[in-house]
Amino acid sequence: MARLFAQRGRDLALVARRTDRLDALRDELTSAHPDIAVVTRRLDVNDHDEVFAVFADCRDALGGLDRVVVNAGMGKGVRIGAGRFDANRQTAMTNFVSALAQCEAAVEIFTAAGAGHLVVISSVSAARGMPGSMTTYAATKAAVAALAEGIRADQIGGPLTVTTLFPGFIRSEMTEGIADRVRFMADTDSGCRAMVHAMEREVAEAIVPAWPWRAVVPALRHAPLAQVRRLLR
């Protein structure tokens, strides 16, 4: 997504835990697009105090933030009752509580500036309670979707825009272990282009990529739970 935004001439603040990768990406982007500014900062979103500090630092470094994408997440869940509350708790904390911290920090900045676009990345799995290792992950993604909708309700008639994206399975480092056994896995480029296109339109909600997920999600919502379980096995 950073590469696609750089092609559009956008200044970027890139944050993650592994700054060596961020710095390499920054050098690539500024070499290809010398007119843009790219700042990188180390951030573990589970350090909630640091979320507020780093967001403010990025704002100051770029002279403002027009859009914040809340995208950090993990899929480390284990079937409920399997004795791995530690893994489910880590997934819940990263995917929801840390997303809440990022939304708080972003909306504070946007409110002070009088404008801004908050993008929250949910998942098509938010459509339904999911079995097995996906139970906690899907629950957190439903929670962040409800969080984003609540923020959007607060901003009706106001200067802030809120977009919730519901991506299907997109090939990434996080999905490498399941890529060969998951249906409808989109390649990285197609998935990122679909997400960036939806962000640029500043829609309230979007299922991305559109095919086949716009057809699959209603089926997930309304199919008998036993069929959902078979579909995901």
Residues noted as catalytic: 137
Beta strands in the chain (DSSP E): 12-16, 38-42, 67-70, 116-121, 160-167, 205-208
How far, CA to CA in Å, does 141 sit from each of 6, 23, 51, 110, 121? Answer: 28, 29, 20, 23, 8
The token pair that represents 198 in the structure block: 């939806």
Q: How far apart are CA 140 and CA 95, in angstroms?
A: 6
Residue 13 identity (one-letter amino acid)? A
What tokens does 76 get? 């480390």
